[in-house]
Structure 1
């Protein structure tokens, strides 16, 4: 029997004047595959300190993308469960 899982990988970066200040990564898994992860990596501490508001807004925007991906996975799992129960 085939068993499969669905996951979504997201990446992003926070930039100011073309310079990367932070990178974001997230992995969102279906219910049985594992725990979701969300990581922020500051690449330039000086620029981060000078642009915290921008990076924090970008972090929140990225977190919203993660929430959307979690909802997408949950909705997909619900539809699959409904089809197998028919």
Structure 2
């Protein structure tokens, strides 16, 4: 057997409404071969339901940052 390692970039973010966290975003981006993994956790369902368009916009912005990192690693 031989040791095999992989280095990744981790990025996290939160969506907040009036200073309260509504959702948490996380991504692991491999430096080399492999697929990125992105997850979202709603941490305040009541605020999410009332502000889902804003939270979704924050999620889209987070996804854009992940794409930027992926592109820079491939350049």
Q: TM-score, normalised by structure 1?
A: 0.76
Q: Could you list the runs of 5+ residues in structure 2 that have no partner in the other structure?
A: none
Q: Could you list the runs of 5+ residues in structure 1 that have no partner in the other structure?
A: 76-86
Whose strand fraction is larger, Structure 1's or Structure 2's?
2
User: For each residue in 1:42-63, what CA deviation from the matched residue of structure 2 results, as whole angstroms up to 9, or x when unmatched?
Assistant: 0011110000011000000000
Paired residue total:
72
1:17 equivalent to 2:45? Answer no
1:36 equivalent to 2:36? Answer yes
Aligned partner of 1:45 in structure 2 is 45
What SS does the aligned partner of 2:26 have? strand
CA RMSD across the alignment: 1.6
Which has the greater radius of gyration?
Answer: 1
Aligned partner of 1:67 in structure 2 is 67
Q: Please state how far the C-alpha of 1:35 moved relative to its aligned partner.
A: 2.2
Runs of 4+ in 1 over 4 A off after TM superposition: 3-6
Whose helix fraction is larger, Structure 1's or Structure 2's?
1
Alpha-carbon distance change, 12 to 61 in structure 1, aligned in 2, over 3 angstroms: same
Does the 8 Å CA contact 1:7/1:28 hold for their aligned counterparts? yes
